[in-house]
Amino acid sequence: MAEVKVRNISKTYEKGTVQALKNIEFEVASGELFGLIGPDGAGKTTLFRLLTTLLVPDEGSATVAGFDIVTDLWDIRKIVGYMPGRFSLYQDLSVEENLNFFATVFNTTVAENYHLIKDIYVQLEPFKHRLAGKLSGGMKQKLALCCALVHEPKVLFLDEPTTGVDPVSRKEFWDMLDLLKKKGITIVVSTPYMDEASRCDRIALIQKGEILEIDTLPAILEKHERPLFAIRAKDRYRLIQEVRAYEETVSCYAFGEENHVVLKNDLEGETEFKAYLKDKGFEGLSFSRIAPNIEDVFIKLMLEQETHA
C-alpha cells in the first residue's frame, strides 16, 4: 500500500516567477525508506513542506496515509513526524523539556512511546538537563529526531538530517533510521550526499524542481550503465586540462583519487585516447574501465536536463 502518493504536483514562488517544483509524481510504500537526493535549491524542502501541510500546491494533489494534504491537514499533522532542515527546537528549553513539550502537544507522554526513541535517547540522557541551544550539532540532530518520533508517527519526514555532519555521525544516523524502519515507520529523507543513496530502499534524484530518475539504486545504475574511464596521474591539474582539451572528450571530472572520463564513442576510441595521453608524458599514468556510480549518473542526468531546457 502507498503511504505517500504524490500526483503531478507543481509549486511556484514569487507570483509564479520561480518554479520550485514541476510535475512531481511518486509513491512511497508503507514501511519504505525513501530518499530524495539532490543539491540545495532542487526543491526538496518545498516538497517536504507540501507533504507536511505547511504549503499548498499550485497544481496537483497528494495524500499521506490516505489523507489529502489540502483538505485533511489536521489529520495529517497528527500522524506525521517532521524534522526540518534548520534546527527548530526550543533553544532555551532543556533536552528533557523539549521532549516533554512535543509529547504534550500531541496528547501523549514520553513514557508511552519510549520504546520508539529509547535507542537514540540513551545517548542524550546524560545531557537531559542541558539547554537544547547548548548541544553540539550531532546531539541537536538526535534530539530533533526524538521530538519528531515521540508521538509515534506513521510517516517520518526528515529534511537533510545529515547535512554538515561528519562521516562517522552520518553513518550512525543512517543506522538509527534502519532501526526505525524495522519498527514499521515509513520514512522520507532528503540528502545532498549522493553516497547515502545506498542506504535507501528507493531513491528519487531531484534537480531544479524535477525528478530526474526514480527507482532502486541498483536499477538506476543499471539503466544508465555507460562505460567510462577512470584515469589518474601525478600532475592532476594538468591531466584534467589535457583530457578536457582532447577532442573526443565529453566530460572529465575528479572522483576521489581518480578522474572519470566519458568519450564521445564510449570505448571505441580507447587506443587513440591512450596514445594521446602517453604522448603528453604523464608520470604514473593509469587507466581503467569502470561502471558509473551514482554521482556519474546524476551528472549525466543533469547535463541531459540542461540540453532539454
118, 134, 171, 289: which one contacts another protein (CB under 8 A)? 171
Total residues binding another protein (CB under 8 A): 39
Residue with cell 539547554: 131
Least distance from another protein to the Cβ atom of residue 127, Å: 8
Helix axes 95-105, 114-124, angle to 10 degrees: 160
240, 248, 276, 287: which one contacts another protein (CB under 8 A)? 240
Using alpha carbons, list the distances in angstroms from residue 123 to 10, 24, 31, 141, 282. Answer: 41, 38, 25, 12, 51
Q: What HEC string does 16-41 produce?
A: CCEEEEEEEEEEEECCCEEEEECCCC
Q: Decide: is 138 part of the binding site for another protein (CB under 8 A).
A: yes
Least distance from another protein to the Cβ atom of residue 165, Å: 6
Q: What is the CA radius of gyration of the chain?
A: 23
64 contacts 217 by C-beta, under 8 angstroms: no
255, 269, 276, 287: which one contacts another protein (CB under 8 A)? 255
Q: Decide: is 166 part of the binding site for another protein (CB under 8 A).
A: yes
Site for another protein in 88-107 (CB under 8 A): none
70, 73, 79, 139: which one contacts another protein (CB under 8 A)? 139
Least distance from another protein to the Cβ atom of residue 136, Å: 4
Site for another protein in 4-63 (CB under 8 A): 38-42
Which residue number, 142 or 151, has a Cβ lying nearer to another protein?
Answer: 142
Q: Decide: is 221 part of the binding site for another protein (CB under 8 A).
A: no
Nearest of 206, 209, 205, 196 to residue 223 by alpha carbon: 205
Q: Decide: is 161 part of the binding site for another protein (CB under 8 A).
A: no
Which residue number, 130 or 181, has a Cβ lying nearer to another protein?
Answer: 130
Surface-to-core class of residue 7, CB atoms within 10 Å of its CB (0-12 exposed, 13-18 middle, 19+ buried) = middle
Q: How many Cα atoms within 13 Å fall on the side-chain side of residue 212? A: 28
Q: Decide: is 285 part of the binding site for another protein (CB under 8 A).
A: no
Residue with cell 544516523: 173
Which residue number, 160 or 213, has a Cβ lying nearer to another protein?
Answer: 160
Largest pairwise CA distance in the chain: 73
**Where does this chain bind another protein (CB under 8 A)?**
38-42, 126, 135-139, 160, 163-171, 192-195, 207, 236-237, 240, 253-257, 295, 298-299, 302-303
